[in-house]
Structure formats: C-alpha cells, structure tokens
Amino acid sequence: MNSAGPRMDAAGSAERHRRARWRRCGAFVILLAAGCAVFVVFAVESSPSSAATIEVRSVAEYPHDPRAFCQGLVVHDAKLLESTGQRSRSTLREVDLETGMVRRMRKLSRDVFGEGLTVWKDQVIQLTWKNGYLIIWDAATLERLGTVAYRRIDRSLKEGWGITHNGRQFIISDGSSVLRFVDPSTWRVVRRLRVHAGLRSVRRLNELEYVDGEVLANVWRSTRIARIDPQTGAVRGWLELKRLVPASVRRSRDAVLNGIAWDADSRRLFITGKYWPTLYEITYDGLSGAE
C-alpha cells in the first residue's frame, strides 16, 4: 500500500502537466484565431482600390430651379426631363435647358415621393421612394399610363432610388450596394450585381445613368460619382465634383449632388443636385468624345 503512493503521485503530476499544456495550447489557438479575424477585418476595411479619382471639368452652366429637389434627370429627344421629390411636392417635369424654365409639369399624389427617372422607347419610367411602385408615363404627352409594383419586380425590393437602362435591361438602385437588372418585357429581375471598390461594398447608390458601357452612380451624401463596370460591379474610377457644389447650398445637409443625364446624340453629360441653382455640363478624361 505504501509503495503505491509515490507512483500515484507521479501519475497525478503528469496528468496535471498534460492538462496545463492543453490549456496553454487552447489559449494560443484562441489568440491566433482572434489575430486572424482582426487581420481579415483590417484587410477588408483598408484594402486599397485601384479606382482613381479625377476631377471633372465644367463645360457650361445653365439655370436650375433652386426649389427642385432633384431625384432623377434624363435627356430624351433633346429635351431635359426631371423627377423631383418630397411628399406633396413631387413632380415630373420637362425643363428648358437654356433657361431652366419648366415647360410642362405633372404633379404626383400628395403621399408620393418621386425618385429616379429614365426613358424606355416611348415611355418615361419614374420611381417612387417607399410607395412600393414605379409610374409609367407617355414620353410625348407626359400622360400617366400606369404603375408597376416593386414586389412584381423583386419581393426584396422595398425602395426605389435610381434607374437607367443599358439598351436591354433596366438597372435599378435601392440605396444599398446592389444593382438589379430587370427585363422590360416581364418586369422581372434577371441579375443582381454587388458594387464594390476593392474589397469594400459601395452602398447608398442613388441616381444612375448608363454612359458608354459604364454605370454612373451618385453616392448619397457624397460629392463623388462612381464609374461602375456593369459586368463585375467593380468601381473603375471616381468623378470628384466637390468644387462644383454651389456656394449657396454648401451648408445645407439636403442639397446634395444628385442627377445625371447623358445626351448620347450630342455626346453631352449633365449633372445637378437637390435645390441646386445650377445645372452643369461636364466632361472628364476617359469620356468618349470629351473635349
């Protein structure tokens, strides 16, 4: 009996050492995993993007209604069409480019908040924000033709922000980093595209315009426009418009850059903002036909 005591103590000591080693190994594994997680987060947050930022050049300036909360802008048949927002004040309007005067206007219902705008064949397509549908207008008369519910397009589409088309499909933004490509004949989503700069998603995508194989997108509350590859979702570059923000609205939180219109016939690009008194014709390096 007495001779077994030392052997029992030795076995117990060995077992305690093994447990201690396992605890140390476990702690090391936990620290290693935490370190890897921090590295991954850091890489995602700080990963550089090859997308360069360039400043645009103003070619010309035109008057713009400073009461217009611009949500969408498009050129059709040499005419400028604009969608304005705010409840009780949302409109669809045809605007004279040279003077900024409204030629024709259609007021939306008091509870409707107007959003992005595009023209498809002989129809004007105007989004609403949280009303759950888009509005179809006759492009020649601006008479209302009907509506399409967002749930028909995509049950996950709850808000409308921006809309354009690539000649085959509508492209719709909803304030997230995802663009939806929609078949105009069925009003069904055929593809979803995540927009990203490097490893980071680009959120708050707003007003859209399709220009020479790229999707140009306002980023809400930003002075930059993203140039997006419509196949990969990668941001090819950024257009910086900070110096074009009118001095009279620089202190306004709501008077942000919003509104892009491309006149493919005359190769002219226009931009403006919410409550801006000026509409600019701009160009930049890389724009086909730029002076």
Ranges 40-54, 95-109, 202-216, 256-270: which has the least confidence: 40-54
The answer to whether residue 290 sits within a structural domain is: no
Q: Is the pLDDT of residue 105 over 50?
A: yes
Q: What is the CATH number of the domain that holds 225?
A: 2.120.10.30
Query: What length is written for the chain?
Result: 291
More confident residue, 10 or 60: 60
Cα separation, 24 vs 10, whole angstroms: 21
| 157 and 16 part of one domain | no
Domain extent, residue 176, equals: 52-283
The total number of structural domains that make up the chain: 2
| 145 and 59 part of one domain | yes
**Pairs from 191-198 (Cβ < 8 Å, separation ≥ 24):** 193/230, 193/233, 194/233, 195/226, 195/228, 195/233, 195/234, 195/235, 196/233, 196/234, 196/235, 197/49, 197/51, 197/226, 197/234, 197/235, 198/47, 198/48, 198/49, 198/50, 198/51
Q: Is the pLDDT of residue 75 over 90?
A: yes
The answer to whether residue 61 sits within a structural domain is: yes
The answer to whether residue 37 sits within a structural domain is: yes
| 63 and 167 part of one domain | yes
| 158 and 199 part of one domain | yes
Q: Is 184 exposed, middle or buried (0-12, 13-18, 19+ CB in 10 A)?
A: middle
| 140 and 74 part of one domain | yes
The answer to whether residue 212 sits within a structural domain is: yes
| 5 and 125 part of one domain | no
pLDDT (tens digit, 9 = 90+) per residue, 220-230?
999 999 999 99
The answer to whether residue 274 sits within a structural domain is: yes
| 4 and 130 part of one domain | no
The answer to whether residue 91 sits within a structural domain is: yes
Q: Is the pLDDT of residue 149 over 70?
A: yes
pLDDT (tens digit, 9 = 90+) per residue, 117-147?
999 999 999 999 999 999 999 999 999 999 9
For the segment 81-96, the average pLDDT, to the nearest whole number, is 97
Strand extents, DSSP E, 52-177? 52-55, 57-63, 70-76, 79-84, 91-95, 102-107, 114-120, 123-128, 133-138, 144-149, 162-165, 170-173
pLDDT (tens digit, 9 = 90+) per residue, 154-199?
999 999 999 999 999 999 999 999 999 999 999 999 999 999 999 9
3-state SS assignment for residue 12: helix
| 35 and 63 part of one domain | no
For the segment 84-106, the average pLDDT, to the nearest whole number, is 96
Reported pTM: 0.82
Q: Which residues pair with 281 in a beta bridge?
A: 60, 270
